[in-house]
Amino acid sequence: MKQSRGALAAILIVAAQGSQPLVAQSLMVASTAVAVDDRTRTGALTLINDGITSSEVSISTFCGYPVTDSIGRMYLRTFDTVDDTMPCAAKWIQSFPRRLRIEGKSRATVRLLVTPPADLPAGEYWSRIMVTAKGGEVTLTGLPDSARIKATLALEVRSVLSFYYRKGTPETGVLLEALRASVRPDSLVGRVRLTRQGNAAFVGSLKASLRDPGGKIRAEGLLPLGVYYTLEPSFSLPVQGLPSGQYQLAVEAVSSRPDLPPEILLQALPVRQTIQVTLP
Amino acid sequence: MLAVLAAWALLIPAGKAVAQVSTLRNLVFGTITSGTTTSVNKTSVNAAQWSISGGFLLGGTFQFTLPLALTGPGTPIPITFSTSDGLRNTTNNPASGTTFNPQTVQTIPIAPFGTTLYVWLGASVSPPTNQTPGNYTGTVVLTVTGMQ
């Protein structure tokens, strides 16, 4: 009886595996941003296949940068054609290799070589790097019907990272304007306009804090961002339970991000703006 | 709501410049019958599933590019993804997830370090009656973008 139960369990496991194929394709990229200067013109990207199956990987580049929509959500604006005024480095980047196969539980390094035009002015030039990973195709049908229709779905994952090519000593900064806020039942929703200064993107964070009349911080938060031209993001702070009255809302733009090491980021002086808000 | 700031975002340690996207499971329709629609619910164990972690959870976005049909030896088989076929959650539990339209760009809220965003996708296939036998294929693309 024990044996037959064991056999039944084995059959059930096999059946479950047959009807539920594990793709287990997993690609880790490090880092999420790559900065290359004009002295070395080279960079590297580490790709780690943490899955159990091999992955076909390809590297490509395109132009794009974060913008905000009408309600302050950030998204990546991309361009099929790039005009001369946009400092786009996408066409100058070559990856070695461009396509590779990474076995399960192994890693690979992709070298990035930048070949800019000879007369390139000093400054910062941007691109996005897309790492495309394809796993093996998986049959959708567990048991084909009498018509013998088989369907196969390929799953492809694209990871989009940022890239900066810096010639000379580019400088960045940011201007904060038009800070405003509206009170919702459980949150304070604010927006502020950030305009990049200098000749390089401002990649950093926006810190927000809400202080009571006694100067005590009652809510705070952090919004990592990249300002390439202008950005007008929205943010919210929890205010549920706070007593009614006057508060000071402060935002500060700083050139640090929790996910990126300082050597990738250009330093800029922090800037700050405050307004008074009334909680009902 | 929007690009959310929260105090716990400050807990993320500096310099964690890695990001990871994993395909955990493919769609499984089971038996496909000509002339009928076969659907996979986004909360079922047969839904496709991915996980997103690391630097992408700092206000990034994700977006699907979905096929309209599976192509093969005969008439293409329509595959549809309804406006409620997407599901997301910060725990590996579709039952408590939030439904989304897989045809639109999705903002990833800022999350504490170590958080994983799970994404599920359901779909329906409708092979016409007397569908030519054979293998039919399509590609689902998931694009995850960091907002640096």
**pLDDT band at residue B148 under the 50/70/90 scheme:** confident
Cβ–Cβ contacts within 10 Å for residue A39, how many?
Answer: 8
Strands A149-167 and A33-37: parallel
Instruction: Give the distance from residue A151's alpha carbon to the nearest chain B alpha carbon, in angstroms.
Output: 5
Mean pLDDT throughout B7-17?
Answer: 43
Closest chain B residue to A150 measured between Cα atoms? Answer: B135
Mean pLDDT throughout B110-120?
Answer: 86
pLDDT at A12 over 50: no
CB contact under 8 A, B146 and A138: no
Instruction: Give the distance from residue B49's alpha carbon to the nearest chain A alpha carbon, in angstroms.
Output: 10
Instruction: Give the distance from residue A272's alpha carbon to the nearest chain B alpha carbon, in angstroms.
Output: 17
Beta-bridge partners for A112: A43, A95
The predicted-structure confidence for A96-135, as pLDDT tens digits, reads as follows 999 999 998 899 999 999 999 999 999 999 999 999 998 7
Residues B60 and B146: beta-carbon distance below 8 Å? yes
A61 burial type by CB count under 10 A (0-12 exposed, 13-18 middle, 19+ buried): buried
Q: Which residue has the higher pLDDT, A82 or A197?
A: A197
Instruction: Say how many residues make up chain A.
Output: 280
- DSSP collapsed to 3 states, chain A: CHHHHHHHHHHHHHHHHHHCCEEEEEEEEECCEEEEECCCCEEEEEEEECCCCCEEEEEEEEEEEEEECCCCCEEEEEECCCCCCCCECHHHEEEECCEEEECCCEEEEEEEEECCCCCCCCEEEEEEEEEEEECCCEECCCCCCCCCEEEEEEEEEEEEEEEEEEECCCCEEEEEEEEEEEECCCEEEEEEEEEEEECCCEEEEEEEEEECCCCCEEEEEEEEEEECCEECCEEEEECCCCCCEEEEEEEEEECCCCCCCHHHCCCCCCEEEEEEEEEC
pLDDT at A38 over 60: yes
Closest chain A residue to B127 measured between Cα atoms? Answer: A149
**pLDDT band at residue B15 under the 50/70/90 scheme:** very low
pLDDT at A139 over 80: no
Q: Which of A258-262, A268-272, B80-84, B93-97 has the lowest mean pLDDT?
A: A258-262
CA separation for the pair B23, B46 (Å, rounded) = 13
Residue A20's pLDDT is what?
Answer: 40
Task: Determine the 3-state secondary structure of B56 from DSSP.
Answer: helix
Q: Is A186 on the interface with B (CB under 8 A)?
A: no
The predicted-structure confidence for B40-61, as pLDDT tens digits, reads as follows 999 999 899 999 998 888 888 9
Mean pLDDT throughout B133-146?
Answer: 90
Q: DSSP letter at B8?
A: G
Here the tokens at position B79 are 């595959």
Residue B41's pLDDT is what?
Answer: 94
Side chain identity at A31, as an amino acid letter?
S
Say which residues have a Cβ less than 8 Å from residue A148's Cβ, sequence separation at least 6.
B133, B134
A139 burial type by CB count under 10 A (0-12 exposed, 13-18 middle, 19+ buried): middle
Residue A193's pLDDT is what?
Answer: 97
**pLDDT band at residue A24 under the 50/70/90 scheme:** low
ipTM of the complex: 0.88
Q: Is B31 on the interface with A (CB under 8 A)?
A: yes
- CA torsion through residues B77, B81, B85, B86, sign: positive
**Chain A environment of B14 (Cβ under 8 Å):** 256, 258, 261-262
Interface of A with B in 119-148 (CB under 8 A): 128, 130, 133, 135, 137-138, 140-145, 147-148
Kindly report the average pLDDT of chain A as a whole number. Answer: 86
pTM summary value: 0.85
Nearest to A151 among B25, B56, B125 (CB): B125
Q: Which of A23-27, A206-210, B22-26, B32-36 has the lowest mean pLDDT?
A: A23-27
Task: Determine the 3-state secondary structure of B26 from DSSP.
Answer: coil
